[in-house]
Structure 1
Amino acid sequence: MTHGYTTGTGTGPEPTPSYGIPQQRATDPAAGATDPAVGATPPPPVVGAAPPVAGAAAAPKPPSGRDRYLDLLRSIALVRVVAYHLFGWAWLTVLFPSMGVMFALAGSLMARSLKRPALGVIRGRIRRLLPPLWAFSVVVLAMMFVGGWNPVKDPDNGGTWGLVKLINYIIPIGAPPYPWQIGSNSGLLENTWAVQAAGPLWYLRAYLWFVVASPLLLWAFRRAPWPTLLAPLGLTAIVGTGLVTIPGETGNAVTDFAVYGGCWVLGFAHHEGLLKRIPRYLAVSCSALVMAFGLWWASGHLGPDGWDLNDIPLAQATWSFGFVVILLQYSPSWQELPGRLARWDKLVTLSNNRAVTIYLWHNLLIMATVPIIDQAYNLPFMESERATAALDSTYMLWMFFLVWPLIGLAILAFGWIEDFAAKRSPRLWPNGAQRARTRRGD
């Protein structure tokens, strides 16, 4: 499987930049009590909540404010996404399955919010998701059109259908069209930049369908928790192994839903308290077996990039599922980051408040580092072969360090749209510093 939406196996993998790195589809978007895809803390529960899982003890009362453990997990997931898309290291998908973690956190928050009327919750989630997408779409589509792309004449998306598919840049219900080649390799951005920029939009599609399906999924989970929890793994074994093939983007969407559906429902289990009822030794032991199966399956079905689990749906689903169970079993529900982790508090807060902005823009910003770093070759001391060789050998590291200031600029330029979408007062740099000063009485 390769990148974007136009591949035939669609496991929701992550596209890597094409700077000599094999390409995949984009994954890996996305607060303690903040939904990664909407960047807003859900309102507190109200009276009239649905009954708990059958046979399960009442869910533990969550601490007031944000769960900083979940915030930390989301921040780690975002950093891992950026690193993977830049370096393309397959082992990162094993080290930390970011998308499984992010879908699980979003599922937990969705279950919390569904104590209110479902239609209002869905409307609120969609409202918070769309304005940041629109800002991104305006910029990317303008760049494509200026670069000479005509969706009507596109050989892959041509005619009226190409125009109709542009709606996915407004409401991500399907796969957005984009040119596979635009510009030239000698241009400001290399000629597959559109593929890389639009690749991460698969996550918004998957998230949107999970949100819409959540009232039904939560209803099923509360009546039959274990079948609902394990059903996505069974579906992945059917549609993610070639046993049943669904062609085109419908197949991609179904496979994405199956692969990460178990993690989404694990978020329900976390919120409802089901995971806490399982003895930790049993949960960890069973999770280890599920993860071992995932690695065993991957070993016999390696893709073009080896152990990249994004190319192996069943391995991705089982490894992510077991990994998330262990993370949520050990969930300490911190109200503040403890010990040395406290030094990262502001960055964790910022990344959670701007998770959508970071996820949407990071791939395009990774590519933007290239023309900036290339200017270094024009410096006088770079006439030395040793200096040129040193820059060549450390090029990717310079990209990694440079992309974070660029992401910071994107947060300043576009991040406030997340506040607007959530009907909050716009903030340029919401890292919690003002709240901390207020708490100290400064």
Structure 2
Amino acid sequence: MNSLAVPADSPSRPGEPAPGYVPERASVPVPASGRTSEPVPGLAPESASAPGPEAPARKAGRDRYLDLLRALALVRVVIYHNFSWTWLPLIFPSMGVMFALAGSLMARSLSRPALSVLRSRLRRLLPPMWMFGAVVLPAMILDGWGPNSEGHPTWWWIHLAFWVLPISTPPFASHLGGFGGHLPDTWAQQIVVPLWYLRAYLWFMLLSPLMLKAVRRLPWVTLLLPLALSAFLNSGLVDQSGRVMETVTDFTTFASCWLLGMAHHEGLFRRIPQYVIPSIAPLVLAFGYWWLQQAPVDQPRIGPDLEAVPLAQAIWSFGSVLLLLHLSPSWEKWPRQLERFDGVVTLLNSRAVSLYLWHCLALVLTEPLIAPLWNNDFFYTHLHWLLTSQWFPLLIAIPLILLALVLFGWVEDVAAKRSPRLFPYPRRPRGQRRK
């Protein structure tokens, strides 16, 4: 789900709080795109523990293949939110991948008592969101948002609790003053786009003990049930408006990916012939693409957007994750060709939640930074091509994202009970040369 400028995750997803809201669905600038990807991202794996009696034996330590997939998913989310290219989710469905990786890590963690795992995961998930809210909420209030802006002061105060525990979408302003016109009036709904992922992740996490039991008892029925529920919800027979249906729609769209991650950890893929998944997955992808083409298109020049069609996204993500987890080499160390990317991949995995939360704000801030350059004679005359390029906002956003990781990323270290670091880029031992 994913672009931020606002037409919106358009057609806006059912139950969207505001007509211009774009779920990861969104990007900066906001074309009419659908829910997106997000990454956000799966939480980084906790330290390995001994497998439980029902879990298959697995090697301790990080799997660099999974780290690579998570890093690619995060990069793809940022690129999608900047360019709003509708073909990107087809090439790499980030949100399905991130939910699958998170499901695999959750299954691994559940070798320990469920309550301790849930408590640990909540501790790692919520503080980065609280830091995000500590910046965004005061900014919205300073720009004119408040209890009377939506006509229901009592509910406004009650809904603020979702900024503490996001069991439903935290409230935000649909239109503001833009700090005197320096920001678009929809800046708030653009930067809170990633919060849908944290809400969905929270529900997947809370239901994981039951989901893991279901995977172990009836694996294939459990894997396919969310797709059947998604088909029913998107059949037109169900009213999808409201907070509850918003959560249910996201759950049914990505539950199969989360369950695939669990099934992969449980060794289900190793118990079926190697030719089965490569034979079935292309058929699943073909059906998902066909369903996407049947969906109504608001902007014919852009074409159908996977992020705007929940059932197509559910099917396409399921097929893609099947293939990626079927490949699933186990890399305790990087292959020689990929060693050079170790630093970037490690950084992205160490700051996955922070990057996912703050990248939309960085993209929004590029607008007031670029706007004055149009009044500069030199830039307008000689660098007009740069001002009109979609790559220019991304080039400006990257340092802003890195600054956000430095300012706020250390919260992830504290939440995970690690020593806080401003910039966790791995350092080579002194005297060791790059290979």
Cα distance change, pair 15–239 in 1 and its aligned pair in 2 (3 A): same
Question: For each residue in 1:328-384, what CA deviation from the matched residue of structure 2 results, as whole angstroms up to 9, or x when unmatched?
Answer: 110111122223322111000000000000000011110111222233334441352
- Where does residue 298 of structure 1 map in the other structure? 292
Quick one: distance in 2 between partners of 1:441 and 1:286?
Answer: 46
- The 3-state SS of whatever aligns with 2:275 is helix
Quick one: distance in 2 between partners of 1:223 and 1:135?
Answer: 40
Residue type of the alignment partner of 1:340: Q
- Where does residue 335 of structure 1 map in the other structure? 332
- Where does residue 343 of structure 2 map in the other structure? 346
Shift >6 Å, 4+ stretches: none
Quick one: distance in 1 between partners of 2:353 and 2:86?
Answer: 24
Q: Which residue of 398, 409, 434 maps to 1:415?
A: 409
Q: Which residue of 34, 38, 47 maps to 2:43?
A: 38
- Where does residue 110 of structure 1 map in the other structure? 106
Residue type of the alignment partner of 1:391: L
- Where does residue 391 of structure 1 map in the other structure? 386
Question: For each residue in 1:31-58, what CA deviation from the matched residue of structure 2 results, as whole angstroms up to 9, or x when unmatched?
Answer: xxxxx4433x3232336x1525xxxxxx
Cα distance change, pair 329–439 in 1 and its aligned pair in 2 (3 A): farther
- Where does residue 267 of structure 1 map in the other structure? 261
Quick one: distance in 2 between partners of 1:205 and 1:285?
Answer: 34
Quick one: distance in 1 between partners of 2:188 and 2:137?
Answer: 9
- The 3-state SS of whatever aligns with 1:241 is coil
Question: For each residue in 1:225-256, what CA deviation from the matched residue of structure 2 results, as whole angstroms up to 9, or x when unmatched?
Answer: 11111111111111133233343111111111
Residue type of the alignment partner of 2:392: W
- Where does residue 79 of structure 2 map in the other structure? 83
Quick one: distance in 2 between partners of 1:272 and 1:12?
Answer: 35
Q: Which residue of 345, 361, 364 maps to 1:364?
A: 361
Q: TM-score, normalised by structure 1?
A: 0.89
Quick one: distance in 2 between partners of 1:158 and 1:94?
Answer: 40
Residue type of the alignment partner of 1:43: S
- Where does residue 280 of structure 1 map in the other structure? 274
Quick one: distance in 1 between partners of 2:170 and 2:36?
Answer: 14
**Equivalences, count:** 421
My pick for the range that moved more, 199-208 or 302-311, is: 302-311
- Where does residue 33 of structure 1 map in the other structure? none
Are 2:31 and 1:21 equivalent residues in the alignment? yes
- Where does residue 322 of structure 1 map in the other structure? 319
The answer on whether the counterparts of 2:25 and 2:307 sit within 8 Å (CA) in structure 1 is: no
Cα distance change, pair 112–389 in 1 and its aligned pair in 2 (3 A): same
The Cα of 1:438 is off from its aligned counterpart by 7.3
Give structure 2 stretches of 5+ with no counterpart: 1-6
Are 2:14 and 1:8 equivalent residues in the alignment? yes
- The 3-state SS of whatever aligns with 2:429 is helix
Cα distance change, pair 139–184 in 1 and its aligned pair in 2 (3 A): closer
Cα distance change, pair 229–85 in 1 and its aligned pair in 2 (3 A): same
Residue type of the alignment partner of 2:371: D
The Cα of 1:393 is off from its aligned counterpart by 2.7
The Cα of 1:9 is off from its aligned counterpart by 5.4
The answer on whether the counterparts of 1:18 and 1:192 sit within 8 Å (CA) in structure 2 is: no
The answer on whether the counterparts of 1:291 and 1:322 sit within 8 Å (CA) in structure 2 is: yes
The answer on whether the counterparts of 1:12 and 1:27 sit within 8 Å (CA) in structure 2 is: no
The Cα of 1:22 is off from its aligned counterpart by 2.2
Q: Matches of residues 78-157 of structure 1 in structure 2 within 5 Å? A: 78-150=74-146, 152-155=147-150
Question: For each residue in 1:271-294, what CA deviation from the matched residue of structure 2 results, as whole angstroms up to 9, or x when unmatched?
Answer: 011012222321011111111111
Give structure 1 stretches of 5+ with no counterpart: 31-35, 53-58
Quick one: distance in 1 between partners of 2:330 and 2:242?
Answer: 41
Residue type of the alignment partner of 2:75: V
The answer on whether the counterparts of 2:82 and 2:363 sit within 8 Å (CA) in structure 1 is: yes
Cα distance change, pair 408–82 in 1 and its aligned pair in 2 (3 A): same
The answer on whether the counterparts of 2:373 and 2:380 sit within 8 Å (CA) in structure 1 is: no
The Cα of 1:440 is off from its aligned counterpart by 5.3
The Cα of 1:16 is off from its aligned counterpart by 2.5
The answer on whether the counterparts of 1:13 and 1:26 sit within 8 Å (CA) in structure 2 is: yes
Cα distance change, pair 158–17 in 1 and its aligned pair in 2 (3 A): farther
CA RMSD of aligned residues (A): 2.5
The Cα of 1:159 is off from its aligned counterpart by 1.9
Quick one: distance in 1 between partners of 2:72 and 2:181?
Answer: 33
- The 3-state SS of whatever aligns with 2:199 is helix
Percentage of matched positions with identical amino acids = 47
Structure ranking higher on relative contact order (CA contacts 8 Å, 6+ apart): 1
The Cα of 1:310 is off from its aligned counterpart by 1.4
- The 3-state SS of whatever aligns with 2:346 is helix
- Where does residue 70 of structure 2 map in the other structure? 74
Cα distance change, pair 430–359 in 1 and its aligned pair in 2 (3 A): same
Quick one: distance in 2 between partners of 1:44 and 1:184?
Answer: 46
Cα distance change, pair 439–419 in 1 and its aligned pair in 2 (3 A): farther
Quick one: distance in 1 between partners of 2:168 and 2:53?
Answer: 31
- Where does residue 4 of structure 2 map in the other structure? none
